Amino acid sequence: MGNNLLKGKKGIIFGALNKDSIAWKTALQAHEDGAEFVLTNAPIAMRMGEINELAKMCNAEVIPADATSIEDLTNLFEKSMEILGGKLDFVLHSIGMSPNVRKGREYGDLNYDWFLKTLDISGLSFHKVLQTAEKTEAMNEWGSILALTYIAAQRTFPDYGDMAQAKAVLESIARSYGARFAKINKVRVNTISQSPTMTTAGSGVGGFDVFLDYAHKLSPLGNASAEDCAKYIVMMFSDYTRMVTMQNLMHDGGFSSSGITDEIIGELTK
């Protein structure tokens, strides 16, 4: 059950690939909470057509857009305003991909063309989304724009590879553009740093099961689920968080503040 937290609000949700996607859960939660939105993903990600299932459930239209293409993004923002009948209140950037991670390249043997792709898709695309939103004058006052990130931007995790740099760029963009958008029309820009979650992007990281289990044991509340993340996102899109901007918000069951836990001690003393 929703709480109508987003009643009357309009937006765009990037990145719902399949039912495991954090963006998929967010779309369902935002719909329950009364929002109207357009769904989007890279044209190639729509081959399986699963997004149409979600669109039906949420009464939403789908507009394909490669988040690295300014042309696609401009079309997306302009068409979304037409479809929704006005400016936007929220945007979710839920996008990540590294060819190096996907193809299992060691950190000491990276392909630099792929590294640039990682940065473009997973980092710079957030700037492109923000800049396009500004240039198309798409955002209402007090709007909220969010991107999803991971704590590997601050601490090293084996196998996260060049995604760590992309996430650091992403978080930095949220701060710089947050300062700018606040002055333009009070739009807030934040990143949410989510627990490891079993999704297509997540399971592309080597040894993900162990990683998930370790994070769960080191988090006093356990790993945050995709459903919990969706609820947090909806709250960040709501009017209850109007003064929160330029932040990297931890949504991780306490992982980032935890030194060691009894569960980890138990594992090590087995």
Is 95 among the residues that bind ligand NAI (CB under 6 A)? yes
C-beta of 35 vs 101, nearer to ligand NAI: 101
Q: 15 labelled as ligand-binding? A: yes
**H-helix or E-strand spanning residue 12:** strand 10-14
Distance from C-alpha of 94 to C-alpha of 124, rounded to nearest angstrom: 13
The active-site residue out of 112, 160, 177, 232 is 160
**Binding segment (CB under 6 A) for ligand NAI, from list 12-20, 73-81, 136-144, 240-248:** 12-20
Residues 6+ apart with CB under 8 A from 148: 22, 92, 93, 94, 96, 191, 192, 194, 229
SS3 call for 1? coil
Is 253 among the residues that bind ligand NAI (CB under 6 A)? no
Is 30 among the residues that bind ligand NAI (CB under 6 A)? no
**Binding segment (CB under 6 A) for ligand NAI, from list 4-12, 17-25, 134-142, 239-247:** 17-25
Is 247 among the residues that bind ligand NAI (CB under 6 A)? no
Binding residue (CB under 6 A) for ligand NAI from 45, 139, 164, 234:
45
SS3 call for 98? coil
Q: 95 labelled as ligand-binding? A: yes
Which residue do the tokens 């979304």 mark? 80
Burial track 116-150 (b if 16+ CB lie within 10 A, e otherwise)? ebbbbbbbbbbbbbbebbbebebbbeebbbbbbbb
CB 252 within 8 A of CB 219: yes
Taking the complex as a whole, the smallest distance from the CB of residue 206 to ligand NAI amounts, in Å, to: 13
**Angle value at C-alpha 173, between 191 and 248, nearest 5 degrees:** 25
Binding residue (CB under 6 A) for ligand NAI from 50, 55, 68, 157:
68
CB atoms under 10 Å from CB of 71, counted, come to 10
Is 29 among the residues that bind ligand NAI (CB under 6 A)? no
Taking the complex as a whole, the smallest distance from the CB of residue 219 to ligand NAI amounts, in Å, to: 13
Nearest to 231 by CA among 221, 241, 222: 241
CB 57 within 8 A of CB 39: no
- Parallel, antiparallel or unpaired: strands 188-194 and 139-149: parallel
Q: 167 labelled as ligand-binding? A: yes
**Binding segment (CB under 6 A) for ligand NAI, from list 38-46, 102-110, 126-134, 173-181:** 38-46
Is 200 among the residues that bind ligand NAI (CB under 6 A)? yes
Q: 172 labelled as ligand-binding? A: no
* Positions 139 through 168 that interact with ligand NAI (CB under 6 A): 148-150
Binding residue (CB under 6 A) for ligand NAI from 6, 13, 17, 30:
17
Is position 160 annotated as part of the catalytic site?
Answer: yes
Q: Which residues bind ligand NAI (CB under 6 A)?
A: 14-15, 17, 21-23, 41-42, 45, 66-68, 94-97, 121, 148-150, 194, 196-197, 199-202
The catalytic site residues sit at 150, 160
